[in-house]
Amino acid sequence: MKHIQITPAWYFSDEAGNQLDSKLFTLLEAVHRHGKLTRAAETVGISYRHAWNLLNKWEDFFGIALVDLERGRGARLSALGEKLLWAEQRVIARLGPQLESLGSELNLAIQQTLEGVKPVLRLYASHGYAIELLPKHLHELRLDLQYCSPREALAALHRGACDLAGFHLPHGEVGQRVSRAYRNLLKPRSYRALRFSTRRQGLMVASGNPLGIGGLQDLACGEARFINRQATSGTRVLLDGLLAEAGLSPAGIRGYELEEYTHSAVAAYVAANMADVGFGVEAAAQRFGLGFVPLALEDYLLICHRRSLAEPKLQALCRVLEGEAFQAAVAELPGYTPDRCGQVEGIEALLPDL
């Protein structure tokens, strides 16, 4: 099957037209991970000489070293090398979900032209690492996956623009408050919920947690630099709910007004030492080598019309969700469990206040 994948690219250039080689970012990431230039070159798939020449070329371009090499101590990124690597990772983290959504649209249009119109499962969902896995497992279905905020996803289901809306609901009292906020978009008589996964959210901190951050109360004094999620995200709703539950004011948090648009982007921000702490899922923290302070559990749910459950495309989805392969993939994600994945429940069972 032909498949479009859209990836971001950016370049440094000078007046002579020289442009930064994209392979340099891969090499810098490998040096950061392995601490040895020989191992980094092997990982990237180039010779040691090629790696050495690549670094020399771009050190001449910038006029400063990108990697510090010390006999007996291996290799480590210089300050500029770190800035370049984290800039690349922030670009990918911030734009990834939007580009995946665009790629989904383009793939669908091209495949329908090549093979004719076939049934499509339209999923509007809050972005997450588990939901990212679905396209790789839905071999029987054409999936139109669009990432958006939870409220936008439920609104799309309400107006018939999608078959499924994915959003996350925190456990406990915070979850009850969140459910009331979605009251006008959930129809207990008409809708049903598919269990998808349970995940941990909390504070992402530098490796080793050098500031000793143990909870939200450590943010309220304004000492630690914080990076937030955008106001429309479900993760921001969860954070605000936890702050309210603890009696803490956002006004005391240094950087509360600064926003990023994905879990990965928040993690990359902290990993680049642009902030001391962010809020998001454990999987993002581990992916960027950060420490994690767990604060909350939440269920990720897929909401659909009750009548849609009899359709072949929804039945095919349920078979995938209940299958060992998909559940094993979810279980490998740090902080995720495929709790009752694929199980159908009434809205009232999940949101008793409705």
What are residue 339's phi and psi, to 5 degrees?
-65, 110
CA dihedral in degrees (316, 318, 322, 328; nearest 10)? 80
Q: Which class is 1-118 in CATH?
A: mainly alpha
Q: Which amino acid is at 194?
A: L
SS3 37: helix
pLDDT in the model for residue 227 = 96
Q: Which long-range contacts (CB under 8 A, 24 or more apart) does 29-34 make?
A: 29/85, 29/88, 29/89, 31/67, 31/75, 31/76, 31/77, 31/81, 32/76, 32/77, 32/81, 32/82, 32/85
Q: Where are the domains of the chain?
A: 1-118, 119-350
How many other C-beta atoms are found inside a 10 Å radius of the C-beta of residue 180?
A: 12
First-last CA distance in the chain: 44
Q: What does each of the 354 residues of the chain score in pLDDT, given as a tens digit?
A: 556 666 766 666 666 666 667 778 888 888 888 888 889 899 889 998 999 888 988 888 888 888 988 776 688 888 888 888 877 777 777 777 776 767 666 666 666 555 555 678 999 998 889 999 998 898 877 888 888 899 999 999 999 999 999 989 999 989 888 888 888 888 889 999 999 999 999 999 999 999 999 999 999 887 899 999 999 999 999 999 999 999 999 999 999 999 998 899 999 899 888 899 999 999 999 988 899 999 999 999 999 999 999 999 999 999 999 999 999 999 999 999 999 999 999 988 776 555
The two beta strands, 120-125 and 164-170, are: parallel
pTM of the model: 0.76
* CATH 1.20.120.1200 correct for 119-350: no
Point out which residues pair with 203 in neighbouring strands. 279, 293
CA distance 89 to 265: 8
Write out the two tokens for 222: 């304004």
CA distance 18 to 241: 50
Sign of CA dihedral 145, 198, 287, 42: negative
Q: Check: CB of residue 262 under 8 Å from CB of residue 147.
A: no
CA distance 302 to 311: 16
pLDDT in the model for residue 92 = 74
